[in-house]
Amino acid sequence: MFNYRPLTLFCAFFVLTALNSHAANLHNGLISHFSEPAEEIRMAYNDQNFDLVIQLVQEKRDADQEISPTSLFYEGRALQQLNQVNGAIERLEEFLDSAPASHQYIREGVGEINSLLLRRAEEAVGMSREDELYEIAVETESPRHIDIYLRNFPDGTYADELKILLDNVNFQEAAETDTRPAYRTYLNNFPDGVNRDEANRRIDALNAADQISRVETRIAAVDENISYLERRRSRATFSGLFYLGALGGGGTGLFLYSQTLPDDNEDKETYMAIGVAAIAAGVLLAYTSYGTIRTMNRGLSEQRDRRRGYERELHDIRSSIAWQVSPDYDFRHNAPGIRLTVRF
């Protein structure tokens, strides 16, 4: 008889080997797919093939592919090596905006932008380094560029003006977010800032808005209670009138009818008893409805008193808060000549 066991073992070994090879190729392919582009860009930069670096990143950009922060960093460095200062600044700015704070090249990127801006300032025709950095800061209204000027010229001609601009830019960011944490961050960074009072007023207004929202929620709940109690009272009133009209009136009619019957009529006493019972039941049920009406009236009185209290609280909050926050608050009065305006 033919022994199939060796053949079976051989086939199993062949299949497992093929699957393992396929898995290894798939793993290597995935690693290559996700790592090769950035690695290729890095290698091109290390080989000082700066044109290739720019070309590889541009190809990804043209293909609408996601560009990693590291690729942007190398592109900016390549543009810098090719003396394309403005393009290098733009790419490094993009890198700093997209990279996480823990990225290994963050500090280097900030330093490169600083040196590039200084280099641009030195190359400006007819302008001093200080004037050029001032123009860049005012043109971009970027905290990073303002900080570069202030670090290089802490007592410069435009230092006071740019400190106000930096204050305004940070307050603008807080105002666009319009949250208490944002305003508190501004106040922590600029405790004596020109927008300090406005930031405090905005915090007061936001606190008051929360209080108003809570009180309005309570008023809405009270209104719902009032509506419910009024419906209950209306039903109780209708029920009371129905009991008096149907049972009381019907019982009275039956009782009166029994009085018209001769004394020897065997149904006279039955009609009389049913009439009296109906009258008693109607009165009892009507009295019960009256008790329900009184309870609902007491509840309505309490709820309406509570509502009036909430309305007074709401009025007091609105009167006490500074709706002094101007709807047309203008930053420009803080720094003449600086084009920065935010409106709430």
Residues 156-176 have pLDDT tens digits of 888 999 999 999 999 999 999
What is the number of residues in the chain?
Answer: 344
Cα(105)–Cα(252) distance, integer angstroms: 99
Given a contact cutoff of 8 angstroms between Cβ atoms, the answer to whether 118 and 128 are in contact is no
Alpha helices, H only, the chain: 5-46, 50-62, 69-81, 85-98, 106-123, 129-140, 143-152, 159-177, 180-189, 196-242, 249-259, 268-320
pLDDT for res 124: 52
Burial environment of residue 103 by CB neighbours within 10 A (0 to 12, 13 to 18, 19 or more):
middle
Q: Which residues contact 74 (CB under 8 A, 6 or more apart)?
A: 41, 42, 45, 53, 57
Residues 301-316 have pLDDT tens digits of 999 999 999 999 888 8
pLDDT for res 254: 66
pLDDT for res 187: 93
Name the amino acid, one letter, at 298. Answer: R
pLDDT for res 105: 77
pLDDT for res 325: 43
Cα(49)–Cα(177) distance, integer angstroms: 43
For the entire predicted model, the pTM comes to 0.50
The two three-digit tokens of residue 71, written as one number: 């690729």
Cα(249)–Cα(278) distance, integer angstroms: 8
Cα(76)–Cα(86) distance, integer angstroms: 10
Q: Which residues contact 286 (CB under 8 A, 6 or more apart)?
A: 240, 241, 243, 244, 248
Given a contact cutoff of 8 angstroms between Cβ atoms, the answer to whether 75 and 57 are in contact is yes
Given a contact cutoff of 8 angstroms between Cβ atoms, the answer to whether 185 and 173 are in contact is no
* CB-side neighbour CA atoms (13 Å) of 111: 5
Given a contact cutoff of 8 angstroms between Cβ atoms, the answer to whether 162 and 134 are in contact is yes
| CATH, range 5-179 | 1.25.40.10
> Within a 10 A sphere around the Cβ of 162, how many other Cβ atoms?
24
Q: What are the structural domain ranges in the chain?
A: 5-179, 205-320
Any idea which residue has 């990279």 for tokens? 99
Q: Which residues of the chain have pLDDT under 50?
A: 1-16, 18-36, 125-126, 322-344
Cα(195)–Cα(324) distance, integer angstroms: 14
Nearest to 334 by CA among 168, 177, 181, 159: 168
Residues 66-119 have pLDDT tens digits of 888 888 888 888 887 777 777 877 777 777 788 787 777 777 777 777 777 766
Cα(65)–Cα(60) distance, integer angstroms: 5
pLDDT for res 195: 92
Largest CA distance in the chain: 134
Cα(181)–Cα(224) distance, integer angstroms: 35
Cα(131)–Cα(156) distance, integer angstroms: 10
